[in-house]
Chain A
């Protein structure tokens, strides 16, 4: 890495040859499509075949004129906030136990066990919650076996079901990033604080949280962004309750076939996501190193 920008010509060619296929692929599959979507969001009709189309701001105006879309976007953002908060509150102590209280080989195995579901099929995991939460299902039977009075537990097709399913989906993300951040904290710092008489909440607030905040924020962003754009989870676990911003976009593409409106709605969501990523970019960069 000696002299930046002063590569020999053959090296430059080699670098270009190695990089070009992957980045061309990403251009065709991701960056050009995003640009195409920007274009689609400002036209009246799909420009295939003989359809008449012209440039318009109608699709964005639709978002502003009808309160429905803004309300649903807000609903999705709130869902993101709830799920992210729960993931952090539940995941951080778990990461702490893994990073600081368990030693040796069992830690590696337990860590893998926590991360493993994250790499398995998310659709199937959401479906598994539908089986557990449905009325007269396993949870219903289990609660009634313990609880002396007869209660009907049917969480399926409620917001609770959606929140539980999403927390289940993304919890490993927060545990992973928090674990990495906590592992980097030198134990002797905590020991020093303790020997100076600090109570556990002082240590948490003044030592542990400041040192692990970048990892926690990275985890929170990685949960929040996909949750705001979720549509499969609300559909399966929310039933009729499950109309969110994501499901409306899905509808424009698979049911209503109003692609320009769908593109505009997608693009507004992308703007929200990019704003969040931009605000958290310095922290994310720090967390990566």
Chain B
């Protein structure tokens, strides 16, 4: 009886602790969002509801252009990274060859090395070979960052695929290509979709690489926000930030429907 009571107390404490963590994680985001609806330009309280900042943002050409560029870049990056990443994941899963472990280890540098180093290195190299700064450079950089995520997510899905199914298709007379297309691709589709959404999020939220590779006046949304923040805070930044964070959370919630984030299922 005492043990039962004790575990109930522990359970309550545990839940309270979890609630505190969630408060820590979400409170600043909610405060920021609330302030985007506050009339005061200097974040003065008491709170007074207003949509001024959203209206002003909607009339700000620089923000709108940066938003359009960010979304466009993220879509191009998603298409390239998903195609190349899925192909690699399939090859790494299907074939066993010398040097395979090396190839798997090579996926880590883009994730594990601080973006500051990768970003400045890209800037140096792209200048040296004549690509320079600008949208093409940003796309090349983003794809490299997104590729490992796509490969890891699709590989995880492939691990659940029964090779026998493909062999069955082959023995019934399907060509290798048909067996892949009609049996394997439908199976791994959820993994591919999740990988694509990850790639989109990586690109859309990427700041460091874009910062070093963007041309001034031709930047993505996070770079524009960074430049604006350093000049001083305005509720207009809160408004666009609120939209961005809501948007990327929705993208990741959809991705979560297709993958388990490493949890059970």
Contacts and interface: CB of A to CB of B under 8 A. Distances in A.
Decide whether A and B are members of one complex: yes
B125 A246 contact: no
Given A5-B98, A30-B110, A273-B114, A131 B124 contact: no
Interface stretch (A7-15, A51-59, A66-74, A202-210): A7-15
B120 interface: yes
Contacts of B43: 131, 134, 137
Contacts of B147: 22, 25-26
Nearest to B27: A132
A26 B249 contact: no
Contacts of A96: 14
Nearest to A247: B116
Contact of A26 (B94, B110, B117): B110
Contacts of A259: 124
Contact of B248 (A28, A121, A249): A121
Interface stretch (B48-56, B167-175, B183-191, B236-244): B236-244
A232 B88 contact: no
B212 interface: yes
A123 B222 contact: yes
Nearest to B241: A124
B48 to A, nearest CB: 15
A25 B107 CA distance: 12
A140 B207 CA distance: 30
B11 to A, nearest CB: 6
**How would you classify the secondary structure of chain A's contact residues: helix, strand, loop or mixed?**
helix
Contact of A25 (B11, B84, B122): B84
Interface string B13-33: 011011001101111110110
A270 B207 contact: no
Interface string A265-278: 01001100100010
Given A22-B87, A125-B29, A34 B121 contact: yes
Interface residues on A, range: 35 or more
Interface string B44-83: 1100000000000000000000000000000000001001
A116 B18 contact: no
B253 interface: yes
Nearest to B104: A288
Contacts of B115: 226, 229
Given A19-B92, A131-B35, A30 B109 contact: yes
B95 A11 contact: yes
A108 B29 CA distance: 22
Given A32-B125, A226-B114, A123 B225 contact: yes
B144 A232 contact: no
Chain B contact residues: over half helix, strand or loop, or mixed?
helix
Nearest to A97: B14
A280 to B, nearest CB: 10
Given A37-B121, A120-B249, A114 B25 contact: yes
A92 B216 CA distance: 42
A110 interface: yes
Interface string B229-265: 1100100011001001100110011011000011111
Contacts of A1: 96
Nearest to B221: A121
A234 B35 CA distance: 23
A141 B45 contact: yes
Contacts of B208: 232
Interface in A27-65: 28-34, 36-37, 40, 46-48
Given A127-B225, A266-B117, 5 more contacts: A34-B121, A112-B261, A123-B225, A168-B25, A225-B112
Interface of A: 1-5, 7, 11-12, 14-15, 18-19, 21-23, 25-26, 28-34, 36-37, 40, 46-48, 90, 93-94, 96-98, 101-102, 108, 110-117, 119-125, 127-132, 134, 136-138, 141, 168, 171-172, 175-176, 179-180, 183, 222, 225-226, 228-232, 235-236, 246, 249-250, 253-254, 259, 262-263, 266, 269-270, 273, 277
18 contacts: A3-B96, A12-B95, A12-B97, A15-B97, A21-B84, A22-B151, A23-B88, A23-B106, A29-B122, A33-B121, A47-B128, A48-B127, A116-B253, A120-B29, A183-B264, A232-B211, A236-B229, A270-B113
